[in-house]
Amino acid sequence: MFKLSKIALVACAGAATAMPAIAADMPQPIPVAVVHGWYLRGDIGYSNQLVDSLDNALYDNFDSVDSVSSDFSGAPFFAAGIGYRWNHWFRTDVTGEYRSKSDFDGLDITHAGAVEDANTYTAEKSEWVGLVNGYVDVGTWHGITPFIGAGIGAADVQISGFTDTGVANGSVATGDDFDQWNFAWALYAGLGFEVTDAFTVELAYRYLDLGDGESGDLVAFDGTNNIDNPMQFNGITSHDVKLGVRYTFW
């Protein structure tokens, strides 16, 4: 009986010694990285803006109107927002943006029978834009993450300081400042550079559709105003280059 007890004690001691070694050899759970969290963002950028066409009620008085030029200058913009990263590849944010004034210069030629005339236009345009955006991060290589995205929202387009000058007779008509809210949408493509786990720098291209804009009612230099005829800017779009930063609270 004593020998059996001694053998049992030795076996138990051996088992107790072996258990840590066995446990060390077993597969250990891999810590799950935190990939979701809120983030703050800020952006600056520069725009290259276009307008599809101009229109005015007085165009109906002519046989035809040929648009020679209708150009916006580039202008800087500034944005800030808050977002949430849902997983490794998908994130969303809400942004508010001020797009500073860009100069507009236009020229068209009107035809009424054998009479031909030209008008030059000048104005300024600015916007407030709010967007809800979603992005897909397509993978990370050496800290660089390409992404694509899209957004929808609204744009408050303001046309200010509009002037219409007749080239032949030097007549001038002006329009008051006017703004209108439009549906807006955007498409994104860019690269994210991970400076730290929490801090990312973005370089991106954005196509932005701002909707339409118009000036106030045009009034001739002598005060005559026989018809409500604001100048309409149809199809305002912008090709933007953006530099942004994101700070994530994991």
Residue ranges per structural domain of the chain: 37-249
Going by the DSSP 8-state scheme, the letter that residue 58 receives in this structure is G
Mapping DSSP to helix (H, G, I), strand (E, B) and coil, where does residue 156 land? strand
DSSP string, 164-207: EEETTT--EEEE--EEEEEEEEEEEEEEEEESSSSEEEEEEEEE
The Cα–Cα gap between 90 and 76 comes to 28
User: pLDDT tens digits, the chain, 250 residues: what are they?
Assistant: 444 444 444 444 454 454 444 445 555 554 545 688 999 999 999 999 999 999 999 999 899 999 999 999 999 999 999 999 999 999 999 999 999 999 999 999 999 888 888 999 999 999 999 999 999 999 999 999 999 999 999 999 999 999 999 887 778 999 999 999 999 999 999 999 999 999 999 999 999 999 999 999 999 888 888 889 999 999 999 999 999 999 999 8
- CA distances to 41, 86, 212 from 92, rounded to whole Å, are 11, 8, 27
Instruction: Say if residues 184 and 156 touch (Cβ distance below 8 Å).
Output: no
What's the CATH fold of domain 37-249?
A: Porin (2.40.160)
